[in-house]
Amino acid sequence: MPQIIDGKLISAQIKEEVKEKVAKLNAQGTRVCLAVIQVGTDPASSVYVGNKKKACAYVGIESLSYELPEQTSQEELLALIAELNGKAEVNGILVQLPLPGHIDEDAVIRAIDPKKDVDGFHPQSVGALCIGQPGFVSCTPAGIIELLKRSGIEIAGKECVVIGRSNIVGKPMAILLLRENGTVTVTHSRTRNLKEVTRRADILVVAVGKPRMITREYVKEGAVVIDVGIHRNENNRLCGDVDYEDVSPVCSAITPVPGGVGPMTIAMLMYNCVRSIELQ
Ligand code: GUN
C-alpha cells in the first residue's frame, strides 16, 4: 500500500511552529494581525473564512473581520483596502475569492500592499517568486512543497507534472517545483495525449477541478500523487480530482481527500502572516 501523506498531521505541526513564533514575537512586544475581507455570503467562502479566523485564534494571530454586503461597490472595497494598507498594526490583508461579478478581482488584488499580501496573489509577489526573490508564496502550492519535504519525498531531478494552470495553484506550483530543481511540465485542457504526459511523472500534482477524473491510466507505477481537488460526490461525501480507490494501489505515496492538501492552505496562511513581520 502507498504512503498516505498526512496533511492533517503536517499542518498541525506547522501551526504549532507558527504558534511558538507568535508567542516569541508577542513576548518582544510585536503583535501579528490579519485582516480578512469577505464580500457577500457565499456559503463555501464563509466556511473558509471561518476556518481562517479559527486558525488565527489558535496560533495567537489577531484577526479583523470585514463582512461586506454583496452590493458593495469596487470603490468601497478599494477604499477599505487603502485604509488597511495604511494601518501599521495590520500585517496581512486577505480578500476571500471569488468576488461578486461587478468587482474586478485583479484590481482588488493589485490594490493590496505587496508587503501585506499574505495570499501571494499580487503581481509583485508572483514576479518575485518567478525570479527567486523574497516575497509571499501562494498558500496551496507552498503547502504542497511542505507536504513533500516533510514526507521525505525528494523533488530534485524528478519528473514533475502539474495538471492545471490556474494563477492560484498550477502556475505557482510549477515555479516552486522548478525552484526545488524538479523537471517540470504543466498540462491543461488543450494538452494532447494527457495520459502519455502524466504517465511520465514521478510527482503528479492534480488541480483540474473535475471529480475523480484521474484514474490509474494516468499514473506511472510508483509515482507520488498530490490531489488538490475537493468536491462532493453523489453520496455527499468529499472526494478529490483523483479516483483514490483506483489510483492508490499503483502509486508510492498519495494525499487523501479530505486530510491531504486542504488543511495545508490555512497552515501556510498562518506561516505567511508571521513572515509578513519579517518582510515588513
Ligand atoms: N478562494 C479559494 N482559495 C482561496 C485562497 O487561497 N485565498 C483567497 N483569498 N480566496 C480563495
185-198 confidence digits (pLDDT tens) = 999 999 999 999 99
What residues contact residue 49 under an 8 Å CB cut-off, 6+ apart? 36, 38, 65, 96
Q: In degrees rounded to 5, what are phi and psi of residue 193?
A: 50, 55
Note the pLDDT tens digit of each residue in 25-82: 999 999 999 999 999 999 999 999 999 999 999 999 999 999 999 999 999 999 999 9
Residue among 6, 15, 21, 96 flagged as catalytic: 96
Ligand 1 pocket, 96 CB below 6 A?
Answer: yes
Percent over 70 (pLDDT), the chain: 100
Residue 125 lies in a domain: no
Mean pLDDT, rounded, for 216-223:
98
What does each C-alpha distance from 16 to 11, 19, 271 come to in angstroms? 9, 5, 10
Looking from the CA of residue 269, the nearest atom of ligand 1 is: 6
Name the residue with cell 526545488.
180
Annotation marks residue 133 as catalytic = no
Nearest CA to ligand 1 atom 4: 97
Strand stretches in the chain, DSSP E: 3-4, 33-39, 62-68, 92-95, 159-163, 183-187, 203-206, 224-227, 231-232, 238-239, 253-254
- Torsion angle of alpha carbons 65, 70, 72, 74, nearest 10°? 100
pLDDT of residue 280: 85
What residues contact residue 212 under an 8 Å CB cut-off, 6+ apart? 233, 239, 240, 241, 242, 243, 244
Contact 188, 208 (CB under 8 A): no
Residue among 6, 15, 21, 52 flagged as catalytic: 52
Q: How far apart are CA 251 and CA 205, in angstroms?
A: 13
Mean pLDDT over each residue of the chain, to the nearest integer: 98
CATH code at position 38: 3.40.50.10860
- Pair 144, 250 in one domain: yes
Residue 270 lies in a domain: no
Task: Check whether 279 has a pLDDT greater than 90.
Answer: no
Mean pLDDT, rounded, for 238-245:
98
Note the pLDDT tens digit of each residue in 76-133: 999 999 999 999 999 999 999 999 999 999 999 999 999 999 999 999 999 999 999 9
- Pair 88, 51 in one domain: yes
- Pair 155, 104 in one domain: no
- Domain hosting 103: range is 29-119
Give the number of domains in the chain.
2
pTM over 0.95: yes
